[in-house]
Structure 1
């Protein structure tokens, strides 16, 4: 999996790690704008592997992309131009949930987008598309969470160990 997350030309401080298990993808990375497509690809393939329905998968991809774009645009970079972030995507009973965590302790500031402006609508778009949305703040950063219902598909069942 690490080869999927390697970024050609990235400096020695650019790091990425991921873990995947049945119905869960956990990624941590030093994020730059050019990495967003790689992350979307990894998430897209996991959602397909979990057989998440097409509309739910596309909505989840859009929401994840918007939240990670906010990390790139609104958090401070390190000395190499990267932002630390993590992403947890889970296929849960009844839908898909994701959490994007950054290390910026500043709260999200809602701004009114200019009528013809190109930016400033990401969080409003995410809120409009998902079924549940929340932000949790701490002194070490914030977690932005969403849930999208998928009534057509249930999460994979966990396999219980056989009794001996």
Structure 2
């Protein structure tokens, strides 16, 4: 189920390889709609990395599915993004070797986000959240 209101997108999402790509498109479209073109690439990157972590690391439910609640909220100075899943185990950043094909996602998210964190959710599972601030418009020289 997808719910969008002025300045907020919320998606209850089954995470699959295809749905990760679709989420990038949906988040990018909302950022464009909100006039945040400068955050589109970074927003697409972080939602992709966080959903890929759910796909690869979260425990599936009893039906074998991995689900996440994605919330993207426009703020006065940027956007807040949260991915909630029901697996209580908190993700760990790790050092990937040069030859490793994975293991860099959380480091990458942490590097591009203005704020980033992981919190146990009181109702179960965890929230992986971040904020992206809009770059300041440079003033043209007189």
TM over 0.5, yes or no?
yes
Name the structure 2 match of 1:30: 14
Alpha-carbon distance between aligned partners in 2 of 1:117 and 1:136, rounded to the nearest angstrom: 27
Q: Residue 79 of structure 1: CA displacement?
A: 4.8
TM-score (norm 2): 0.88
Provide the C-alpha distance between the structure 2 equivalents of 1:71 and 1:46, rounded to a whole number of angstroms. Answer: 22
CA distance in 2, matches of 1:60, 1:91: 12
Asked whether the 8 Å contact 2:25–2:44 carries over to 1, the reply is: no
For 1:95, the equivalent position in structure 2 comes to 78
State the Cα distance separating 1:41 from its structure 2 match: 1.3
**8 Å contact kept, 1:32–1:81:** no
Residue among 34, 47, 59 paired with 1:50: 34
The equivalent residue for 2:52 is: 69
Shift of 1:152: 4.3
Larger Rg: 1
- 1:134 maps to what in 2? 117
Q: CA RMSD in A?
A: 1.6
Aligned to 1:149: 133
CA drift of 1:80 comes to: 4.4
Paired position in structure 2 for 1:83: 66
Give the 3-state SS of the residue equivalent to 1:20 in structure 2. Answer: strand
Q: Deviations over 1:78-130 (max 9, x none)?
A: 35442021100011111111000010011222322122111000000000011
Please give the secondary structure, in 2, of the residue aligned with 1:104. Answer: coil
Q: Residue 8 of structure 1 aligns with which residue?
A: none
How many aligned positions are there?
A: 136
Match of 1:110 among 93, 98, 101: 93
